[in-house]
């Protein structure tokens, strides 16, 4: 994979397809290649040039274990866009990546043509604050949960009950979570320790980029009401909600998510 030297670190990225540039920003703890399962093929087939990136904290990009701030990730994304031609680009982020996209629209609107926030949020509710504090304590303790329990917890937190109700689909996901689990890397810990006390909704009133916020109806990590708040805060922004989808809605309901992206980009 190509590597970009930006802001004193290295970023690993991949570009596929030809046409207008779409930049996809992944969430906490996940590599950019997750987009390759469904979104990259659909966007490339529709005539877009698609860039995925391993955010700082995710190897082989610089892990930055000493600490990561949201402004670091926003600056990295902006610098990568500039290296790829300067924009304006079509921008998509999910979860933490949606927050990066939201802040980039505010800080560097000239780099963004349109933006989509999947499971985005402009503030953190009590459940998220408690979950984050619990993750920090677990990381610091050095305790490793049993693999099957860890897999079940990941499934409950990230998938829709509709997905888990199908035995074959649930088994596939549980096997995947169990296989990919294990110790948390220093870079992922740094991502997890980013500020979780923010409230940026008032600031988002200054965003002028055309935006679409997408909530996943069964999302326990970032409930859809938080995603809708982002749309309500941004002048002219739209909101869509995907049914039968948890936090990984772009993987659970890829056809619907891809349709929403392509319709918004083409409009």
Judge if the upstream peptide bond of residue 88 is cis by omega within 30 degrees of 0: yes
Provide the percentage of residues in the chain whose pLDDT is more than 90.
87
Q: Is residue 166 in some structural domain?
A: no
Domains contained in the chain, number: 1
Among residues 116, 32, 43, the alpha carbon closest in space to that of 76 is found at 32
Does 173 score more than 80 pLDDT?
Answer: yes
Residue 1 binned pLDDT confidence (cut-offs 50, 70, 90): confident
pTM: 0.96
What are the pLDDT digits (tens) for 14-72?
999 999 999 999 999 999 999 999 999 999 999 999 999 999 999 999 999 999 999 99
Q: Is residue 261 in some structural domain?
A: yes
pLDDT of residue 195: 82
Q: Is residue 133 in some structural domain?
A: no
Q: Is residue 155 in some structural domain?
A: no
Q: Is residue 148 in some structural domain?
A: no
Backbone φ and ψ of 70, nearest 5°: -60, -35
What are the pLDDT digits (tens) for 78-94?
999 999 998 899 999 99
Active site residues: 95, 219, 247
CB 121 within 8 A of CB 99: yes
CATH number of the CATH domain containing 200: 3.40.50.1820
What are the pLDDT digits (tens) for 193-222?
998 789 999 999 999 999 999 999 999 999
Among residues 5, 228, 243, 258, the alpha carbon closest in space to that of 98 is found at 228
pLDDT of residue 140: 85
**80: containing domain:** 3-126+187-266
Q: Is residue 178 in some structural domain?
A: no
């Amino acid at each position: 994979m190509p590597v970009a030297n930006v802001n004193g670190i290295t970023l690993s990225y991949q570009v596929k397809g030809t046409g207008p540039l779409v930049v996809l920003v992944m969430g906490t703890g996940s590599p950019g290649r997750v987009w390759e399962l469904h979104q990259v093929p659909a966007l490339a087939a529709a005539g877009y040039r698609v860039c995925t990136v391993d955010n700082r904290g995710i190897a082989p990009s610089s892990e930055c274990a000493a600490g990561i701030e949201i402004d670091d990730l926003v600056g990295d994304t902006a610098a990568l866009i500039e290296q790829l031609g300067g924009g304006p680009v079509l921008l998509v982020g999910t979860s933490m990546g949606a927050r990066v996209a939201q802040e980039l629209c505010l800080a560097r609107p000239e780099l963004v043509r349109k933006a989509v926030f999947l499971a985005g949020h402009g503030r953190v509710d009590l459940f998220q604050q408690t979950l984050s504090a619990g993750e920090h304590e677990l990381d610091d303790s050095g305790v490793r949960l049993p693999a099957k329990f860890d897999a079940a917890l990941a499934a409950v937190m990230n998938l829709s009950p509709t997905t888990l109700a199908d035995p074959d689909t649930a088994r596939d996901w549980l096997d995947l979570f169990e296989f990919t689990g294990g110790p948390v890397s220093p870079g992922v810990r740094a991502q997890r320790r980013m500020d979780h006390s923010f409230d940026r909704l008032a600031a988002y009133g200054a965003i002028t980029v055309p935006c679409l916020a997408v909530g996943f109806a069964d999302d326990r990590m970032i409930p859809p009401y938080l995603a809708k708040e982002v749309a309500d805060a941004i002048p002219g922004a739209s909101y869509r909600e995907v049914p039968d989808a948890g936090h990984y809605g772009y993987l659970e309901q890829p056809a619907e998510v891809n349709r929403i992206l392509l319709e918004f980009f083409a409009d």
